[in-house]
Each structure stands twice: as C-alpha cells, then as structure tokens.
Chain A
Amino acid sequence: MEGITFFSGLWFCLVAVLIAGYFILDGFDLGAGVLYPFIAKTKTEKAVIRRSIGPVWDGNEVWLLTAGGALFAAFPPAYATTFSGFYLAIMLVLFGLIVRAVSLEYRVHDEKWGGLWNLLFFLGSLLPALLFGVAIGNVYAGIPMSALGDYTGFPLFGLITPFTLLCGVLGLLMFMAAGASWIAQKAPKPSELQERAAKIRTILQICTLGVFVIVTVYALFGINLEMLGGLAAILRYLFAALFVVALIAAIFFGKKGNDLFSFIAQSASAFVLVGLFAASMFPNLVIASANSVGQNITIMNAANSELTLMWMTIITCVGLPLVLLYHVISYRTFRGRLTDEDLDY
C-alpha cells in the first residue's frame, strides 16, 4: 500500500504481537485474579492461586509496558489520542494494576489486612480484564476526534456502547478462561481446586465462543468499517477460523484431561484473536467516527521517521531474543504442578 514502508508495516505487526503477548501472558494471571474469590474456597487454595502466578505476573505485565512503549515509539499520534481520549478508563486500568500488584505481594505477609488484599486483588484484576476489550472496541468502532486527533466525545461514558461493552465482555471471558486454564494445569492433581478450575474452564470457553460469534456478527453488520481486501481479507478468514479451531481444541484437550495442551490451545486462541483484530484494522490504528472532524489515524499518517523505526528494529533484534530467553528460564524454573512444598518458599 502507498505510504507504508517496510519499517512502518513491520511495526504495525510488532505492536500487534506485543499486544497479543500481553493478552496471552497477563491474560491468564488477570483471569486468575478475577476467578480468585469464586474458585478458591480455602486459604490454601487461595495461596495456591497466588503462588501459581507469583513468579511470573510481573514479567507478564512488562508486555503491557513494552506494547505501550512500542506504540509510543512507532506511532505517537495513536498513543497520544487513545491514552488521552480514554483518560478515565486508562486510569481505572492503572489503579487496578497498581492495587493488584501490591496486594499480590503483600497478602502473604499480612494476615491482618488479608481480606482487604484479597478484595483489591480481585477488583484490580477485574477492571483491566474488562476495560481492555472496551478500549479495543472503541478503537475499532471509531471515536469522535478533532482535526488534531483529540477525542471530543463525553469522558468515559461516551466510550460505553453496546458494541464496546460486548467487546469488553469478550475480553473478560477470554482472560477468565485463560485464568481457569492456567489454574487447572498448575493446581495439584487430583485436588478440588483443580477440578473446579477444569469445570469452569470449559463453561467459560463455550461462553467465549458464543460471545465471539455475536461480536463478529455485530462488527460485520452493525459497524461499517471499510476493511482491506487481498491478503488482509485472507488473514481475517484464516484467523477467525483458527480462533474457533483453537478454542474447540482447548475444550477437547480439557475434556481429555490434558490440561497443559488445553492451556496452550487457549493461548493460541488469544494470539489469533489479536491477529484478527489487527487484520481488520490494517492500515488504520484508530478509527474516527462518522461525526468526526479529524481523519482516521493510520500507519501512513502516524508512523515515526524511518530512522527512528530502524533503530527501534535494531533494539528489538537485540532485545526480543533475550526476552524470550528470560521467559524460557522463568517458565522452566517454575514448570509443573504445584506441590505443598512450593507454598513455603
């Protein structure tokens, strides 16, 4: 396409990959946090859930910082418009992430405030898990923008429509399914917690499929986004099909009792869902709604200079292999189901 260079196209894909990485990794620990008060009946079960995500949640969350940084570094107008336009929503996500991080670390040392930390861990997981989908729904459905790209709609409540709420619910279900899937493959087996997680995992995955169909139909017929044909169209069909296949595989593996494979298939579904979103948006980054003065923010009008993108690519070529290595080390060190001994670290 005209105006899209090798580097700007590459960075569109890289930002999508970083978002997908975030949704997969922090997805399961956010989901575990949402399920935490419902799925864990005893103190030990609560401790198992916290311990299962304890060594990895921080690294998972760095994917969000990297994705945000990459959006800023590659397409600053898109970063500026969305973060300032979604101001209160972003702040709610932020407060969620803050209290969740601290409650997760402090709960184990603080019996007296245990109830408060448990509540904050749940709320702090719920807010981001719900609002990320709402934000993505808005980017896709379009927001009113000034000529300079500043959001002109009503703060926070202007962002909530039936469609964006549905996107929020889809995201929440995805995160919760991933959380249940994570717990099901980390909890001791056999245990009541593991059985409960496995059961709710299947229910959540079926609900996800249902809501996905509704969102897709709504997006295709209710929102008139002009989408590119050609390769982008092929990728859209492919990703949509793969999403359904991956989720069905996750359900299938779960039924077979292969919890690890079920989790991997669940993760794959999150990856292709972000792929589907990216292929639908390309080459747009933020859609301007029909009543907007401003234009869509696109790769063409938002990309940074080639020099900056080249340096960012060099930094990524050095950094990304290292990041993957750290993750291999971390997930290998803490692999396998938890035992009683793991709760005393």
Chain B
Amino acid sequence: MDILSDVALLSRIQFAGTVAFHFLFVPLSIGLGLILAINETRYYKTRDPEDAAATRLWVKIFTGTFVVGVATGITMEFSFGTNWANYSRFVGDIFGAPLAAEALLAFFLESVFLGVLVFGRKKVSPKFYMVSAWLVWFASMLSALWILIANSWMQTPAGAVLASDGSRAILNDFFAAALNPSIFARYTHTVNSVLIMGAFVAMAVAAWYLLKDRNIHFAMKTMRIGATVAIITSCLMLVFAHSSAMVVVNEQPTKFAMMEGMYETETPPLYLFGWVDQEGQKAGGLSIPGGTSFLATGDWNATFPGLNDLAKDPMYSELDPANLPVNFVFQTYHIMLAMYVLIMISAILAIFFSYGKGKIRNMKWLQRLLLIAPLFPFIATQTGWITAEVGRQPWVVYPNAAAPGVSMLTDDAISVSVTSVELLITMLLFLVVYALLLVAWIRIMSGFIKKGPEPATEALVESMGGE
C-alpha cells in the first residue's frame, strides 16, 4: 500500500483531478462567452424577438457553466498553499503576483458584469447590456492570460535568480518573468482551443434541435455562428500549435523527447499512432520517417537529443529516463493530434453545409456527428494539458537558462504538514462533491436545452428594456 502513503503522489493525483475537472468548465465558459456576446450583439442590432430568445438562452447556459468553473477555481488558488507549501515558499516571490493580479484585474470585472447579465436585463440600457457581455468575455480571456503567465513561468522560468542561501527564487526582472519564453505561444494555443470548444458546443446544441426538428431558425443561426467561429479558430490553430511545439523543442527538450518517445538522439518520425516500450526504451508504430523533424525545422534529417543524452546535460542531471511516464505522454500528445484532425474535418463540413442553402438541415449523419463532436475539443484540451504538465516531470519548475539555478523537483514541492490520511479524506470528498456538480450541471444544461429558447414575441423584446 505504498501509493496510499505517498504524500507527493496523492497530492499530484488530487491536483491533477481537480484541475482537470476545472479545465472542463472554464474553457467551455470562455468559449461560450464569445458565442453569447456575438448573439447579444446580433440582438442589439436587430431587436429581433428570435435573437432576444437566443441570447436569453445563452445567458442561462453560460452562467450555469461559469458557476461551476468559479466554484472549482477556488480549489486551485488555495491548493498552492494547502498542498504545495514548499513550492509556495520557493516561488512566492514570483508566482503569487499573477494570481493576485488575476483576481484583481480579471475576476472582479467578470463577476460584476456577469451579475448585470443575469439580473440586470431590465435595469440597464441595451447598449450597456451588450457591452457587459463583451466585458465578461474579455475578462475571462484576461484571467486566462494571468494564469497562463503563472503556469508558463513554471515551464520556462525567467527573470529570476536563486537566493544566496538557495531557499527560494527571487524576482530580478518583472517583464522577463511575465513575458517568459513560452507565454505567447502557450496563451494563443490554449485560448484558441477553448474558443474551438465553445463553437463546437454551440454547434452541438444546434445539431440537437435539427435532429429533433424543432426551433429550426434558432438552430440554423446558432449553427452558422458556431461553424464560423469553429473554422476560423481551427485554422488559426495550425499556426498557434506549431509555435507552441517549437517552444517545447527549444525550451523543454526533455518534454519533446517524451512526446515523441525518444530515448536516444535521433531524427524523429511523425507517428500517426504508436507505442513506447519503456523497458526496451524504444518507440514504434505507423509513422512518416523524418516527419516531425521536417515540421520542426524544415529538414527531413535533423536530429534531436533523446532522454538518455539529455540526462547527461548538467541542466537536466536530475532526469532519470528509466523512471519517466514516456508512453503516457506520447499517447496523450498523439491523441490530441488525432482529435485536431477530427476537429478540422468537422469544422470544414459544418461551414460547408450550414451556409448557402443550409443543406445541413437534411443531413442527419452530419447532425449526429456534430452532436458528438464537442468530445473532440474536450479530449484534445485535456490530453494537451496532460502532455504539458506530465511532460515537464520530474520538475514542477522546469530548468531554464533564462533563470539560472531556479528549478524544483515536484517531489520537493509538497506540504510537509499534510498527511496522507488527510489527503485521502479530501480526495474522497472531492470525488463526492465534484460528482454532484457534474450530475447537477448535466441536469441543468439538458433542462435548458430541452426547454429551448422562449417563444419569440414582441413582448419578450419589450420585457428586455428599451433605449
């Protein structure tokens, strides 16, 4: 029963579980925030009762999702202190600031104007109401920036030095720390992926109405908005994903080696699928030789360092290639890639058949595909995030030349005062409470969608206040 008394492992499982859950709802609410703001703007321009009904429905769906994100987000902010006290002491000079800034600059904005969206329809002017919708979305994008600054600093620390007694990292350049080597690539990649998610959920809602042959007008409008956002963001993803991968290649070579299953220095092929034999330290599968090398450098024959060679580098001397979950990272990374292919195909089909004559109305198979299609971005964001976080192991603060000496092993980051028994208790409680949240969210959402948009009448427009 070694696992049950391993505080570091239990803390990691708890953090991984709670953050993965959080990372279902927050990305969705950021993505839906954009759909809501677009709908509200359309209503503001048309004053069409149908648009009024649509935006009222999206406010409900958005809020019901947003609140789960907020509630599970408190866990995350607390968890650095509760479960990672040594980490907090080590990085406190740098890591606390973006968390405080996120609350101060983003959460207040978001929460106050969400209050206006839910309760203020009759109290503020339509213009103010529309601006509120955009402010909520803007604030959620801003909060993503701050939290990704914090996370990216852990991946590629910069602007800091080790204190003379070695006990903690000390900030020496604010801008270098905030604008660390991976922030732009990781922010654009992450935020773009959550917008894809929102667009796909919007299309799924639309597809459900089309399948049920009801609320056709609403469904077609929603489908077009969703498909437009989906195709734009899916295409942008090519650029953002590439730049994100390049940062990993350049700044986190051990993560890149894990993603491609490279123990020895070699020319990485492009795997369509494969398997890493961790005992034999070899990856195999269906692949295009030199493909990944070509994507990374434009050269089919470039070599990249494998884990065994990287472990000889003084900077990565704590690395033990025999003890790394290489296959796990390889799989999550390649699942993410596969999901992207499905996302792209779905987005192209959706845009092609929803505009023009709107052929999608009679295409049951495409409606069914788009109904389950939100699974693709959901799986992609989860596996992508797992790749990023497990791929940087064994470090919680990954070594980087931009912050010499500033790195920390995950095992050293724990709270010494927290026992494994306490962790088991809280893990059980998280399981119960989060299961309740999930069931409740599903019930509430399916309730909203089954009920559908309210009847589109002039009275509805009047009830929403005039100029």
| Bound-complex Cα distance A268 to B251 (A) | 52
From B80, B174, B436, B447, A72 is in contact (CB under 8 Å) with B80
Q: Is the CB of B108 within 8 A of A59?
A: yes
Contacts of A293-335 to chain B: CB distance below 8 A: 304-305, 307-308, 311-312, 315-316, 318-320, 322-323, 326-327, 329-330, 333-334
- Does chain B have a CB within 8 A of A77? yes
Contacts of A17-70 to chain B: CB distance below 8 A: 51, 54-56, 58-59, 61-62, 64-66, 68-70
Residue total for B at the interface (Cβ-Cβ under 8 A): 72
Q: Which residue of B lies closest to A304 (CB)?
A: B93
- Does chain B have a CB within 8 A of A87? yes
Q: Is the CB of B447 within 8 A of A323?
A: no
Q: Is the CB of A90 within 8 A of B60?
A: no
Given A73-B100, A106-B444, A315-B105, A90–B82 Cβ distance below 8 Å?
yes
Q: What 15 new A-B contacts, CB under 8 Å, besides A305-B93, A334-B119?
A: A59-B115, A69-B102, A72-B100, A80-B81, A83-B85, A84-B417, A91-B426, A95-B429, A97-B71, A97-B74, A101-B67, A102-B71, A308-B174, A319-B101, A334-B123
Q: Is the CB of B425 within 8 A of A88?
A: yes
- Does chain B have a CB within 8 A of A210? no
Name 28 interchain pairs, CB-CB below 8 A, sorted by A.
A54-B115, A54-B119, A55-B120, A61-B74, A61-B111, A66-B104, A73-B97, A76-B91, A76-B92, A77-B89, A80-B86, A81-B85, A83-B81, A83-B82, A84-B83, A88-B426, A91-B429, A94-B74, A98-B72, A98-B74, A99-B436, A101-B71, A155-B421, A311-B171, A312-B97, A315-B104, A319-B105, A345-B119
Mark interface residues in B239-280 (1 if CB within 8 Å of A CB, else 0).
Answer: 000000000000000000000000000000000000000000
Mark interface residues in B322-333 (1 if CB within 8 Å of A CB, else 0).
Answer: 000000000000
Q: Is the CB of A311 within 8 A of B174?
A: yes
Chain A's interface size range is 35 or more
Chain B residue contacts of A316, Cβ below 8 A: 104
From B91, B101, B112, A315 is in contact (CB under 8 Å) with B101
- Does chain A have a CB within 8 A of B109? yes
Q: How far, in Å, is B105 (CB) from chain A's closest CB?
A: 5
Chain B residue contacts of A109, Cβ below 8 A: 60, 64, 444, 447-448
What 4 pairs between A and B have smallest CB-CB spacing?
Answer: A76-B92, A83-B81, A73-B96, A69-B100
Decide if the interface of chain B is mainly helix, strand, loop or mixed.
Answer: helix
Chain B residue contacts of A307, Cβ below 8 A: 171-172, 174
- Does chain B have a CB within 8 A of A195? no
| Bound-complex Cα distance A68 to B78 (A) | 8
From B82, B86, B88, B120, A333 is in contact (CB under 8 Å) with B120
Q: Is the CB of B437 within 8 A of A98?
A: yes
Q: Is the CB of A305 within 8 A of B171?
A: yes
| Bound-complex Cα distance A110 to B109 (A) | 28
Q: Is the CB of B416 within 8 A of A110?
A: no
Q: Is the CB of A333 within 8 A of B422?
A: no
Q: Is the CB of A76 within 8 A of B112?
A: no
From A55, A77, A151, A341, B92 is in contact (CB under 8 Å) with A77
From A66, A101, A106, B100 is in contact (CB under 8 Å) with A66
Chain B residue contacts of A73, Cβ below 8 A: 92, 96-97, 99-100
Q: Is the CB of B115 within 8 A of A334?
A: yes
From A90, A148, A320, A330, B104 is in contact (CB under 8 Å) with A320
